[in-house]
Structure 1
Amino acid sequence: MKQRLAILGSTGSIGVQTLDIVRENPDRFEARILTANRNWEKLAQQAREFDADTVVIADKQPLRRRCAKHSRDTDTKVYAGEEAVAQVAAGGGTDVVVNALVGYAGLAPTVAAIEAGKKLALANKESLVVGGACVMPLARKRKAPVIPIDSEHSAIFQCLVGERAPVRRLIVTCSGGAFRDFRAEELANVTVEQALRHPQWDMGAKITIDSSTLVNKGFEVIEAHWLFGTPAERISVLLHPQSIIHSMVEFEDGAIKAQLGTPDMRLPISFALLYPDRANRPGERFNFLNHPQLTFAEVDRAKYPALDIAYDCLRRGGTAACTMNGANEVAVAAFLARKCAWLDIVRAIRYALERAAFVPSPTLADYAEANAEARALAAEFLQLKN
């Protein structure tokens, strides 16, 4: 029986690659629901190709009319607004929700899908960074499987399959992003174009900038904590420029398991969708002889302060990580719009964390307030800078 998919963020990098997996496995999957933020043209094309039942464009006007125009000759239902994205995530007619949304906007659909008891293939790390304390207990209560799509967390998940032994340490690997070969003093004047030049991965603009600051890696540490129940002091980050080992798990007896492969997100996507099976994927296989040397190094914490900020937010708990995320989203958008310097991203995060209210045991409503306050504080900081 085919799995019926709802792909949230189908026009983004993860969404497009998820549809590649659907194309490769037409006997296993149907893409029934597709959503996008603004890219109505690509969304309409995808809806036609996959004969989707429903599409949602999160940005309401005038995109709903345009998308509807392109869907008149089909039976596809068209909805608009962020609320509709959460509604279709919880709605009937699908078995699996692939959350490939970017940022805080992914939290509400994650909660909706889990409330409905659906299997969640999760690429939206902010769902757990912001609201892991609410999301994971809810998943256990609803018996809703949460399978990670992030390459690092998929690697850890794969290493843990079949294991019953206690885990001593999770080792999250890190490419170092666009500026790994830059000296700290060179970072003051880096450009958007330079920051978007990731040495290994082809990703969306937001996550590529997050990789350049290592905010993304800090968020992955927080996500790993919630996914695997591992405390901060037992999660390590190791610089691995080749991006071949996607992450590792060390067990109590000293054994270390690693998951290796080329930097291709289709592997963790297909694993999340097919688990416990694996896909028989086309394409060239990994060749060790082409990669005779794998290297590792400590992360330069002075050059990348965002990593320690994320660890601190994890240890503090409450709304701290939500504040970090909200400030980061505003600052990254400003940097991409050329309205602030690259170094201002982390400065805005610090500014918000120093001034934001802190709620130690937040509800989902508290997260919404913390997110709004963090965004306002980051905007305030960036205006002060200008």
Structure 2
Amino acid sequence: MQQSRRDFLAAGTGAMAAAFTPFFILKSKPRLSEEIIGHGDFRYKVHEQWGTLDAGKYPVTNCHEMVQARDGRLFMLTDEPKNNTLIYDQSGKLLDNWTLNLKGGHGLTLHDEGGEEFLYITDISSGRVVKCTLKGKVVMELTNPRADGIYDENSKYIPTETAIGPNGDIYVADGYGSQFILRYDAKGSFISKFGGDSYLQDAKFKQAHGVAIDYRDKANPTLMCTARMKNAFKRFTLEGKYLETYYLPGAYVSRPVFDDDHLYSGVCFGMLPGDYNPKLDRGFVTILDKDNRVVSNPGGNAPVYTNGKLELLLQEQPVFKHCHDVCVDRDKNLYVCQWNAGGVYPYKLERV
């Protein structure tokens, strides 16, 4: 088998380090900044201080999601009203910040509309879904479905994520509410909804936390939706017809993030062997290939398939607490945003 340049360099570097490192250092636990995590061709060096800022000036409660704009800037959404959006460059330098005074900033989607980029933001505290410029000017807001009669007055609505379809349709995941995916046109007029709340029915959700457009089959884009409490991603047509489920045992996944042929997701909660309940502080990252098979779990155990079925995924290295989102930059490095992790800023995972 031909060895890739990345594997060759990684192997050579590891060999040199082993040759010149004293024995007592080899036995000590490496700092996170020295730790290599992941599997196969998707291995990363952890830089836990990459995004750290002065918490007195730029506090974060939870770092929820991050996207990279066309010009390379990284926009990160927090639920801290003082600065909902922190804007970094790839070196970790803070370029700017602004706020919409949201107490529950949660979902962040970037969409290019005729050469101009916009951000779609969901706020779980108020139920708002807004479209704004990269400078934070709100240009559209969706109406709460209770006000439009889409939901009855007793239905919960707590939107967690958005996705924008190829024709501009807006899909809203009501992931902490009534478990529907709601579809609107580009001007914000309601079209339809699908899903709902059920553990047993394949076409319904438990915690429809994320939604994204899967363009990997360019001739047939589809919706990939999160069913976090079912440890699964579910595929639907753009019209909302259920197609299939991808089960990831042990992984309470966040939104799907697509880059080239791969799907990336933060695993917010994990499990313990023999205990299928979600556990705090057991997060990691998972990466699926174009056939939706897991190929790497940075911070987790190596994926194993037995007779075609994926075995239990578990945290193996305690690098993360609760991975809420993954951003893939143009150099294939990852940025991991965490919920309920002591106010930490994003970690950078440098591809090796």
Q: Give the alignment's TM-score, normalised by structure 2.
A: 0.29
Give the TM-score taking structure 1 as reference length: 0.27
